[in-house]
Amino acid sequence: RDAEKATSLSGDDVAPYHEKIAVQLYDEKGKPSEQGTVEEWWSGAGKDKRLYAMPSYSATVVREDGKVFRTPGVSYPPAMVELLLDQVERPLPEDSEVENAKLEMKKINYGKVPLECIMLAQPIKGLNAIPMGLFPTYCFDPGKNSLRLGFNYGTQLVIRNSIATFQERLVSLDVVVRTGDVTAAEGRIVALTKQAVTDADLATDGLVGTGNNAPVKVASGVIQGMVLKQPQPIYPQSAKDNHVAGTVVLHALIGTDGHIYRLTVQSSPDPDLAIAALAAVRQWVYRPYQLFGEPVEVETTINVNFTFGP
């Protein structure tokens, strides 16, 4: 909780502010694709305005009292841009994610930099040791609340550079997101100041109400037909030797870009099969699911079958 308060710009005791972030996105090969800016006028928890100025996405979005208003004719913001904003404003997980996790502590060196890490491991019956980074992992400067790295299911790395203090919070001025071996996005704060936010600043004139941004629940069979990239899991030798087979059931949150942002194990016949399923599925990519012509976040179930073949 101390680290959450030290890094969050969305707390009840945070005064209204204005920020501007310069964004650079990259393609799947790590080559620059587009750049732009995002500005935000934050008035309180769940009450703000964002102005996106990107070649592929230009929009005004106002959130207030659980309602969302957006420029007519535009879809949801790019998921990678939203991830950069989250890393600036609230980089740590929700309380519910922490409460349902088994906290694993470990000291690592990132290059020559020593860090203290906490992994939010899911308790898997029969498994005592979980590889670091398999589940969301947060790494801090030793003995401090300054968050420096975040691992997300082993395939996504968030690097937080140039830590500065704003309203007694530790804010990263530069955020780099890497997917696998390539850079996916970079965000740099170019303005961050206390500023009164008026009702006029949050006016919704000319915007269209879109309801909330809650994920849409989609049946596993439907989402299975939308997969674009699907590395197959490796059958653990230990499971083969013990003649263990069966289905690992995972619950997934799939972003508007088709990438998986959260995975939890619902059931598994064997702990090693659960790890093998997680290691593979976290790399799967889907065609974005659309609702009324707009890509939306999806909650779904993913079944990974382990069976003996010839």
Provide the terminal-to-terminal Cα distance of the chain, rounded to the nearest Å. Answer: 52
Give the single-character DSSP code of 232. Answer: P
181-201 pLDDT, tens per residue? 899 999 999 999 999 999 999
Residue 97's pLDDT is what? Answer: 79
Residues 6+ apart with CB under 8 A from 310: none
- What is the C-alpha to C-alpha distance for residues 25 and 216, in angstroms, rounded to an integer? 26
- Beta pairing class for 227-229 and 216-217: unpaired
Q: Which of 59-63, 102-106, 109-113 reaches the highest mean pLDDT?
A: 59-63
At residue 295 the predicted structure's pLDDT band, cuts being 50, 70 and 90, is confident
- pTM for this predicted structure: 0.82
Share the mean pLDDT of the chain: 89
- What is the C-alpha to C-alpha distance for residues 40 and 121, in angstroms, rounded to an integer? 33
Do 26 and 33 contact (CB within 8 A), yes or no?
Answer: yes
For 67, 77, 150, 293, 299, the CA distances from 209, given in Å and listed in that order, are 7, 15, 34, 15, 22
213-271 pLDDT, tens per residue? 678 899 999 999 999 999 999 999 988 998 999 999 999 999 888 888 888 888 888 88
Q: Which of 62-71, 139-148, 254-263 reaches the highest mean pLDDT?
A: 139-148
